Amino acid sequence: MADTGVSSLPSTPQARSPLFRAEQFVWLTARVLEQRLFAHHFLHGTPDAVETALDAYRNDDGGYGHALDPDLRGPVSQPLHTAHALRVLDAIGRCGGQRVERVCRYLTSVSTADGALPAVHPGQRGYPVAPFVPVVDHPPSDLLATGPVVGLLHRNQVWHAWLFRATDFCWQAVDSLEKSHPCEVEAAVAFLDSAPDRPRAEAAADRLGRMVREQRLAALDPDRLDRYPVAPGYAPTEHHFPHDFARSPDSLARAWFTDAEMARSLDHLTSAQQDDGGWPARRRQWSPAPTLESRPLETIAALRTLRSYGRFTG
């Protein structure tokens, strides 16, 4: 028999488990940061190892760059990279202290006139960037960039002057949403899940949930995706499902969906694991490297979602 160069995996229940298959995919394809993050979540890896890998992306201005978000290439700090770094720090219980103080100083320096974050700072110009990410001289405030950062900082009880105006912007942006798209709603949920004013957050989430269902932003039946339009600018197959809005049972968005709808969504997420053990990158693909780097991120997120709902991963 010819040597294919790929060792065969043992045919045991453990080897067939989603987690074991994903682990092989991560070791084969992921950056060091995602390898260590995977190890932290699923293999008893240390937070120190994750933070050491994350530090390679940190710049002197307190922000993060170097393609930490795969769709923005180049060394310069960007809000999206920095939001990604905060999610990593949150995941390992290190979202506080001097490291976050430096991040907040960077966020202050790149904020718009109303105290919020732009999606992309114009310093990105001259470096490769996804064609669907506009780089303009005076970018507007953006809920997609601001909402998750503000929510995460509130969840970690971080208090900084930047947060006051940024929180006000998020409330205004969420309250004004009448027609939206899935990623914007998910950013709003990330803010609402940790906003300090819980009654206001619950009321806003209830209104958003009705909007999501009325505008068919969530694909409630994975077997009949033709019933659910894909938002303009999204990849042709980039549907969003109940588990995308409610990443854990504790999310306010969980109340938007019935138990049966969520079960179908999680079944679909489980079945999306590919033959190589990873989950697909669902956003538009524009270059091989960002696509490859995105898949371990999707894989870790999928496993964490399944585990949070008590689904078997291995």
Q: Tell me whether residue 168 is in a domain.
A: yes
Other beta carbons within 10 Å of 148: 25
Residue 261 domain-assigned (yes or no)? no
pLDDT above 70 (res 11): no
Q: What is the mean pLDDT of the chain?
A: 94
- The pLDDT > 70 percentage for the chain reads 95
- Residue 98 within any structural domain of the chain: yes
Q: What is the pLDDT of residues 275-300, one digit of tens each?
A: 999 999 988 999 999 999 999 999 99
Structural domain range at position 108: 57-176
Q: Is residue 105 part of a domain?
A: yes
Would you state the pLDDT for residue 16? 83
Q: Is residue 159 part of a domain?
A: yes
Domain count, the chain: 1
H-run or E-run covering 38: helix 32-42
Q: Give a yes or no: residue 127 inside a domain.
A: yes
> Taking 70 as the threshold, does the pLDDT of residue 211 lie above it?
yes
Q: What is the pLDDT of residues 135-194, one digit of tens each?
A: 999 999 999 999 999 999 999 999 999 999 999 999 999 999 999 999 999 999 999 999
Residue 234 lies in a domain: no
Q: What pLDDT, on a 0 to 100 scale, did the predictor assign at position 201?
A: 98
Q: Is the pLDDT of residue 132 over 70?
A: yes
pTM as predicted: 0.93
Q: Which residues contact 96 (CB under 8 A, 6 or more apart)?
A: 156, 157, 158
- Measured distance CA(276)–CA(28) in Å, rounded: 10
| 1 pLDDT more than 60 | no
Q: How many CB atoms lie within 10 A of CB 304?
A: 16
3-state SS, residue 285: coil
In a domain, 74, yes or no: yes
- Taking each helix axis from N to C end, the angle separating 32-42 and 18-29, rounded to the nearest 10 degrees, works out to 160
Taking 50 as the threshold, does the pLDDT of residue 3 lie above it?
no
